[in-house]
Structure 1
Amino acid sequence: MSDLVFDALLCDLDNVIRFYDLDEVARQEEAVGIAPGTTMEIAFAPGRDLPLVLGQITRAQWAASISEALTAQIPAQRAADLATAFAHAPARVDQHVVELLHQARRSIPVVLVTNATVWLDDDLAQLGLTDLADHVVNSSRVHSAKPDAEIYRIAAERAGVPAHRCAFVDDSQTNVDAARRAGMTAVLYRDISDLRRLLAPIVNEGDSSFLQETQAGPHD
């Protein structure tokens, strides 16, 4: 691994590995005449999202908060139904990404770094992902959420690798920028080709020159 610019992979979960199916939410939004995405916007407003990913509220409390906000636009029962559909939306896994991470883990530590909920362990078990990574850094358990510097420090510590020897992958530019400030090699995930290219020296896919393109120091 002497040609690598990293010795551990820190990887986001949602919109990289796990994807939610919101078709039922969209159907209900259309039925009650509100704009597509309204429920998501309400659910992830700062006053609801941050307490959720810091482990300060339960799923039931989160759903109740979403429902209460929706009642400004739609009847209470419809609001409750929409909130429940959103809070319990089914998820799928990108098995191609999972396979890449399994291959990477044969060579280097893999750590999931995710702004997630206190029920994440149950979700990972249901999706068959309990053995995907060496460690899971869950914001609701460590009480620090991306892009705060502390969660990156914790993730590097769990990986057992200095921050400047960690590669970080996330679908959020804000989170990627924070990883770069921490000294990590950071990659914005748009599709699986980004991950393939990053891991090329390990899994023999893609172009290893991509590593140099994505390496960044703490002041970038």
Structure 2
Amino acid sequence: MSQALPPTGSDGFLRRDNLLMVGKLLVVAALMFAFGYALVPIYKTICTALGINVLARSEQSVPGATSQFKANTQVDTSRTITVEFDANARGVWDFKPARRSIEVHPGELATVMYEFKNIQPRTMAAQAIASYAPKQAMAHFNKLECFCFNEYTLKPGESKQWPVVFVIDPKLPKDVKTITLSYTFFEVGGKVPAAPTAAAKGAEVRS
């Protein structure tokens, strides 16, 4: 039987050229993959150094930041918005912001604390609702974390501190320079015993 002979002449050179070309293509593909993989840390380093991406700094200090704002949020450093905080309590308790106002740039992540204390001798359930002035600011005031999302039960004398984490959309109209964020904290009935009425108190005294 005849055996196949190794390629010689032009066929051998052609096969070697093909193998060499395949090797080069594999090296180029590997280098492109490595470069693309390295772009993410390179991008984050540049943004942190230049202050382009606010979340490169802010998301490290705000554990409640949600994924919807982990995109490339731009900070408009040419504008400063004064955000005022207000608190209204419909009931016998202490409710107030830790700070009355702060100044932020649109696109900048910010946090303010609200303080609450149940000064009644009974357990209560309550919740807060937010309002904005001017009203057009509501569509541009994005809360990432807020106690107004939940209902809370507090024991007599119990104190709480809750954060409000927010970012103002850079698309906020240019003429809006001050935003007032106001919370009204009200009692939610049905989950805990209601406060005794004046008539009920009088009946207890007479008995």
Q: TM-score range by the shorter chain?
A: under 0.3
TM normalised by structure 1 equals 0.20
TM normalised by structure 2 equals 0.21
More helix by share: 1
Higher Cα Rg, which structure: 2
Larger RCO (CA within 8 A; separation ≥ 6): 1
